[in-house]
Chains A and B, each alone.
Chain A
Amino acid sequence: MFNKGSELLNLCKTRNKKIWEIVVEKEIDNAQISYEELMNNMNSVLDTMINSANAALDKGVISISGLSGGDAKKMEDYKNKGNTISGQLINSAMAKALSTSEVNASMGKIVAAPTAGASGILPSAIISVKEKFNLSHEDMIHGLFTAAGIGEIIAKNATISGAEGGCQAECGTASSMAAAAIVEMLGGSVEASFNGASFALLNIMGLICDPIAGLVEFPCALRNASGVVNAMISADLALAGIDSIVPFDEVVDAMYKVGKSMPESLRETALGGIAATPTGEKLKRRIL
């Protein structure tokens, strides 16, 4: 039905539908499942997301390796004191993104979105926006379909793997998906959704993948925190009516090319970037 962003945009325009509606139609068609089954599946995805985004907020969750943990709770406590620089929403969203990342690193249950490493961004984005604007459970479900549509296009035309395209491909894609979802959840146009998706990707274009000791912990959790903020500001930029001069499909292509031209040391091998710092190396020797 669609492979490119432009095709999805056209389908929405000609049939006067939202992104999530087209994505639902396509999935029912492709996977040969009923509407009810599809909604059930998405509901269980959302349930897992809500759990993981909250599980580490009130008790410190430490990773299996012992390298990291407890930061979601610190963030949540800090936010609750009410004296933050960037405000309640942003601080709360960062806490929720950290929570899912910590649940993942402690062998808890998460939804890869689109990968385990970037799994904190989308849940936090849709839950935070739902809470702030008093939206419904259904609005969140719709947001997830919108996000899935964007993610699918990026996966098809570029890559969503850090080993192939760096962190821009993982956390960048997650932010891009989340930005489009937020815009649509808040009633923005289809064009605005794609603008938001483009902004999120180009804001972090070139971000490398450099996890210490190859473990999805540091800097990964922090990038989930900044990733959800990236999604929210990208959505605001788009909802303000700012246009992406370069269309979404071209931004995706550019991200792919940048990823392919990254040296291997900066693509999940833990041989460059933060992983290769003296401290990163020292921790690696201690853990592994």
Chain B
Amino acid sequence: MKDYGIFDILGPVMIGPSSSHTAGATRLGKMAREIADNTFYKVTFYLHGSFAKTYKGHGTDRALVAGILGMEPSDERIRDSLNIAKEKGIQIEFIEKDLGYEHPNTVKIVFSYYDKEDYYIVGSSIGGGNILITDVNGNKVEFSGNYPTILIRYIDQKGSISRISSILAKEDINIATMKVSREGKIATMIMEIDNPIKDNIINNIANLDEIIYITGINPIGR
């Protein structure tokens, strides 16, 4: 028997109409913004499955855009996000596309920049406002964003993992989960940790020679 707190019954306080289309989509957008560099001038959303079929009626489009603008899922400006993006001069495009991913509420969010290559994130809204990020610019990953998460790409060398984890240990940070995948010489590591991420930790790890890319993502509220 699952245990419920009273605010699971009287809650969440949320923006309608549905937690998977509003809160989940806002969190997906916001998570993508946290991971990507946010000097983008254009964002293209490829909508898959029921996201593609129902996004207008459910307001999923507005929720996603609110997220990439940095709004929280409880922000009452979500319904005006398309106009807010326009005012900020950010171009937005929605494309319905079969992404071949199995979860019905999946989106691929592509950020475009004037001075560098596009960057994308793929994720799904899996119900009750929960999300799962499955691809970060070609790196197959799997994390929920419910915990502080560190994403690192590095050139795999002997001792890399221990160098990274000893930096965290020195800061008294406990690693809750760690997943490493590798393609050729490039490894991708996803770590969920127990404490909020601070800049100095990210900087210290970034100073290691083998690091290509690192980003820290603190959890996004419901």
Question: Quick one: CB contact mask for B1-45 with A, threshold 8 Å, 1 for yes?
Answer: 111111111111111111100100000000000000000000000
Measured CB to CB, the nearest residue on chain A to B19 is: A116
Q: In angstroms, how far is the closest chain B Cβ from the Cβ of A216? A: 5
| Residues 57 to 95 of chain B near chain A (Cβ within 8 Å) | 57-59, 62-63, 74, 76, 78-79
Q: Tell me, yes or no, whether B56 is within 8 Å of chain A by CB.
A: yes
A109 adjacent to B18 (CB under 8 Å): no
Q: Tell me, yes or no, whether A3 is within 8 Å of chain B by CB.
A: yes
- Count residues of chain B with CB under 8 A from any CB of chain A: 33
Chain A neighbourhood of B11, CB < 8 A: 45, 111-113
B10 adjacent to A113 (CB under 8 Å): yes
Q: In angstroms, how far is the closest chain B Cβ from the Cβ of A227? A: 16
Q: Tell me, yes or no, whether A244 is within 8 Å of chain B by CB.
A: no
Chain B neighbourhood of A104, CB < 8 A: 16-17
> When the two chains form the complex, which single residue of B9, B22, B78 contacts A113, counting CB atoms closer than 8 Å?
B9
> When the two chains form the complex, which single residue of B3, B4, B13, B19 contacts A111, counting CB atoms closer than 8 Å?
B13
Measured in the bound complex, the distance between the Cα atoms of B177 and A36 in whole Å is 35
> When the two chains form the complex, which single residue of A31, A63, A112, A214 contacts B54, counting CB atoms closer than 8 Å?
A214
B16 adjacent to A110 (CB under 8 Å): yes
Interface range on chain A (Cβ under 8 Å from partner):
35 or more
B10 adjacent to A116 (CB under 8 Å): no
Chain A neighbourhood of B8, CB < 8 A: 152, 155
Q: Tell me, yes or no, whether B140 is within 8 Å of chain A by CB.
A: no
Known: A64-B17, A109-B74. Contact between A156 and B9, CB under 8 A?
Answer: no
| Residues 5 to 54 of chain A near chain B (Cβ within 8 Å) | 23, 27, 30-31, 41-42, 44-45, 48
Measured CB to CB, the nearest residue on chain B to A152 is: B4
Q: Tell me, yes or no, whether B53 is within 8 Å of chain A by CB.
A: yes
Chain A neighbourhood of B2, CB < 8 A: 155-156
Measured in the bound complex, the distance between the Cα atoms of B57 and A116 in whole Å is 16
Chain A neighbourhood of B15, CB < 8 A: 107-110
Chain B neighbourhood of A105, CB < 8 A: 16-17
Measured in the bound complex, the distance between the Cα atoms of B11 and A44 in whole Å is 11
> When the two chains form the complex, which single residue of A23, A156, A217 contacts B6, counting CB atoms closer than 8 Å?
A23
Measured in the bound complex, the distance between the Cα atoms of B9 and A45 in whole Å is 11
Q: Tell me, yes or no, whether A265 is within 8 Å of chain B by CB.
A: no
B57 adjacent to A109 (CB under 8 Å): no
A107 adjacent to B54 (CB under 8 Å): no
Q: In angstroms, how far is the closest chain B Cβ from the Cβ of A35? A: 14
Stretch from A75-83, A143-151, A196-204, A272-280 at the B interface = A143-151
Q: In angstroms, how far is the closest chain A Cβ from the Cβ of B50? A: 8
Most chain A beta-carbon contacts within 10 A, residue among B10, B13, B58, B63: B10
Chain B neighbourhood of A110, CB < 8 A: 13-16
Q: In angstroms, how far is the closest chain B Cβ from the Cβ of A46? A: 9
Q: Tell me, yes or no, whether A67 is within 8 Å of chain B by CB.
A: yes
> When the two chains form the complex, which single residue of A111, A144, A147, A216 contacts B17, counting CB atoms closer than 8 Å?
A216
Chain B neighbourhood of A112, CB < 8 A: 10-12, 14, 19
Q: In angstroms, how far is the closest chain B Cβ from the Cβ of A75? A: 19
A152 adjacent to B59 (CB under 8 Å): no
Q: Tell me, yes or no, whether A213 is within 8 Å of chain B by CB.
A: yes
Ranked 5 nearest A-B pairs via Cβ = A104-B16, A148-B6, A65-B57, A151-B9, A107-B79
26 contacts between A and B (CB under 8 A): A23-B6, A30-B3, A30-B5, A44-B13, A45-B10, A45-B11, A48-B13, A65-B57, A107-B16, A107-B17, A107-B22, A108-B15, A109-B13, A109-B14, A110-B14, A110-B15, A111-B11, A116-B14, A122-B10, A148-B9, A148-B10, A155-B8, A155-B9, A214-B50, A215-B57, A216-B16
Binding site for B on A (CB under 8 A): 3, 23, 27, 30-31, 41-42, 44-45, 48, 63-65, 67, 103-114, 116, 119, 122, 144-145, 147-149, 151-152, 155-157, 160, 177, 213-217, 287-288
